[in-house]
Structure 1
Amino acid sequence: MSEAALIERIAARGDGVTADGRHVAGGVPGDRLAADGTLMPGPNRAEPVCRHFGKCGGCQLQHVAEAALADFVRDRVVGALEGQQVAAGEVLPALLSPPASRRRAALTALKIGKQVALGFNAAQSNQVVDMRMCPLLVPELFALVAPIRSLLATIAPQRRPVKVKLQMLDQGAEVVLEGVRAEGLDAAMALQDFAAEHRLARLAIDQGDGLETLWQPEPPTVHFGKIGVEVPPFAFLQATATGQAALVESVRSAIGEAGAVADLFAGVGTFALSVAEGRKVYAAEGARDAIAALTGAANRARALVATEHRDLFRRPLVPAELDRFGAVILDPPRAGAEEQVKQLAASAVPVIAYVSCNPASFARDAKLLVAGGYALDRVQPVGQFRWSTHVELAARFSR
């Protein structure tokens, strides 16, 4: 009888992997795979905390114990760097966001007859898993799920998906509905009543011809450091407050006392405003509504933040511009920032703080920076999408 194969690691999509490369759905490091395909549980398994686990696509790793989950997040970063043959001075232990801390989510609703299903999609499917519990979302957002389900029973179209975007702001929850038809006085009043009853910070809908804000008692804000930003509807924010804090602290530590700092792909100012106190910051962003929000916040606070609406994919900063700065913060989309990184590699910038939501594109960009003479000093893996295979990080490069 052949010996059972040990599951050694978790692959990027969540399967367990044996030493000989076999992928095993639901496998966890320490489990053993018998010759007949039976999975024998090891010491790193956990009891899933959600009744929807295994069907809902929101989580892939609830069956993984905390220590092994942290190892998976760190190993994703290490594996990506090894794949590009990039050496890191130090890869720190992963920081995981706790349960019930996700402050933004995009759900789907589907009305069939009188019934409305509302939740995340099933894994690799368009089927909507009707959310009756969620250990991911902050309680304030989950408390809105049932009321929104009831609201959509009256305004959602039949058999056509509706996007439901939820986000916590300083003033409370924001709800954005896309793909609804709110025609007539009754529908308008129902939406107003819903927003008032649940003390929403903002309610906006898109009926097919652009987003329309129906409820906003005061301009909704998010604070970065001491500066409040009046954010546009469903502006991009880090998924959890703890994840944001970990990334901001890593960036602060990376740039140290650098005088003038550039924040590239600045969004609404998560990093630019968090490090602005006592120093000059240049912030560039391609999304017009995001950079307008950042500009307004910096002006109101009289912060020394100069902003520019700039497409950094088509018009990256060149070395003559970059060399003015003591440090550069880089927080690109999932695809990375290859064109901007090529310019950085040719620059004399002393320090780069690189924040990434994709270890693969980060490792590719890191290879370019190292080839240009930078050292990758350290990497902080961050798992703010708890129980998912989505991994983020903050890194420091220097020359």
Structure 2
Amino acid sequence: MAEEVVRIAARGDGVTSTGRHVPFGVPGDVLLDDGALAPGPHHQEPPCRHFPECGGCQLQHVDDEAYRGYLQSRVETALYQHGLATEIREPHLSPPNSRRRATLRVLNTAQGVVIGFNAAKSHRIVDMRENFILRPELLALLEPLREMLRRLLPSKSPAEVHMTLIDQGVDLLLKGLSASKLEAIETLAAFATAQGLARLSMDQGLGPETVYEPERATIALSGIPVAFPVGSFLQATSDGEAALVATVREAVGDSKQTADLFAGLGTFALATRATYAAEASRDAAAALQQAARAARVEHRDLYRRPLDSGDLDQFEAVVLDPPRAGAEEQVRSLAASNVKRVAYVSCNPATFARDAAMLAAAGYALDWIKPVGQFRWSTHIELAAAFSR
């Protein structure tokens, strides 16, 4: 008996009303008696020749309407598991070719340099010959990189390329490539100059070392230039960052005393004019302190030393933007505090829902959630939420 696909599961499979998982199924598709899939109105032709072999995208066969529905469903399901529900606003989707950072795998083979993302569920590299998610400035480097790495990378020796688009251009970090000889160093310097890189750094196993930086590398956050340490975290797209900033500002409202926890370089601290920020990375904390001179920035690991309720009581609002593990211990202290508003930015709906349940039990109202799809056509989801009491 034919079955209709009604939703998309967390890892990207379609699911029928009876719970059958259907690879590449989209709501509205029909699973026929012979096992074939009849495409429905939300099933689109994937734009990239590498799909589905490449593991960089899982949902290129899903149109925007169904993709927004998938993002909303992921959030609703995570909340439901903790007995929560709220307004889920229409998700923001970053457009194609908007991602400004990427980590690519590299291998020098007999056929040439292979560079790209790993194949799905594999360590094999899919040689990237077209791409519909990365910014054009990053894509323009691929062929020059192939030529340069062909000369410097030993045969069958794996490496990584980390690319981030910042104010001055592309910030490039090479991992796994040795360049101890003068000829190799001159080749790298010539490559950086010819390609107009913002910075070129290398990690030969002992941490990043900058070999080319004609001017100080910065990233503008809320219009303020912030020093950009090598390997720093940056929101994946500039429009996604803007969407998250707007929702955080709304959640914080007109609060005068605001704390930004897990602050990074200050994406939200600078946007909300936070009076206090805590960040575990020493380099990021120093960069933020230099940019936000009016705020107190503390180099502090909030997993090891969360602020207690007494520390938090001086603030009207708190912004949280923790890693995927969430902020369980810090949220426990926050739940016991007198803070009135909380803006929570998360890249993991499951840990967010766990933490949200603690806040709800302490009397906070979960006012709304805004999903943000910065990693277009992937199963990765971010969100910003507003709590108040």
Query: Which TM-score applies when normalising by structure 2?
Result: 0.98
1:225 is aligned to 2:219: no
What is the alpha-carbon distance in structure 1 between the residues aligned to residue 138 and residue 244 of structure 2?
Answer: 23
Q: One-letter code of the match for 1:296?
A: Q
Report runs of 4+ in structure 1 exceeding 6 Å deviation. none
Q: Does the 8 Å contact 1:166/1:234 carry over to 2?
A: no
Q: Distance in 2 between matches of 1:312 and 1:23?
A: 40
Q: Which amino acid aligns with 1:363?
A: A
Residue type at the aligned position of 2:90: P
Which residue, 266, 274, 292 being the options, matches 2:286? 292
What secondary structure, in the 3-state scheme, does the structure 2 residue paired with 1:140 have?
helix
1:209 positional shift: 2.4
Amino acid at match of 2:116: G
2:51 alignment partner in structure 1: 53
Offset at 1:23? Answer: 0.7
Higher mean alpha-carbon deviation, 282-291 vs 111-120, is at 111-120
Shift of 1:158: 2.4
Aligned positions of 1:28-67 closer than 5 A = 28-67=26-65
* Bigger shift: residues 121-130 or 179-188: 179-188
Indicate the residue corresponding to 1:5 in structure 2. Answer: 3
When the two structures are aligned, how many residues end up with a matched partner?
389
Report Cα offsets for 1:326-362 as digits up to 9, x if no partner: 1000000001000001111111100000000011110
Using the TM superposition, name which of 50-59 and 205-214 deviates more. 205-214
**Partner residue of 2:141?**
144
Residue 282 of structure 1, aligned match among 276, 279, 289: 276
| TM-score of the superposed pair, with normalisation by structure 1 | 0.96
Q: Which runs of 5+ in 1 are unaligned?
A: none
Q: Is the 8 A contact 2:76 2:85 kept in 1?
A: no
Q: Does the CA contact (< 8 Å) of 1:205 and 1:214 recur in 2?
A: yes
Deviations 1:152-197 (A, max 9, x none): 1111132232010000000000110000011312111110010000
Q: Secondary structure at the match of 2:154?
A: coil
Counterpart-to-counterpart distance in 1, 2:362 and 2:128? 49
User: Are residues 1:348 and 2:338 paired?
Assistant: yes
Match of 1:305 in 2: 295
- Provide the identity percentage: 55
Q: Residue 360 in 1 paired to residue 360 in 2?
A: no
The Cα offsets for residues 74-97 of structure 1, whole Å up to 9 and x where unpaired, read as 111111111111122x11011100
Counterpart amino acid of 1:288? R
Q: Which amino acid aligns with 1:241?
A: S
Q: Which amino acid aligns with 2:49?
A: R
Give the CA deviation at 1:113. 2.8
Q: What are the Cα deviations for residues 285-344 of structure 1, in whole angstroms up to 9, with x where unaligned?
A: 111111111112223xxxx21100111011111111111101000000001000001111
Partner of 1:190: 187
- 1:191-219 CA-partner distances (Å, limit 9, x unpaired): 00100001100000112222110110011
Contact 2:345/2:385 (CA < 8 Å) preserved in 1? yes
Query: CA RMSD, aligned part only?
Result: 0.9
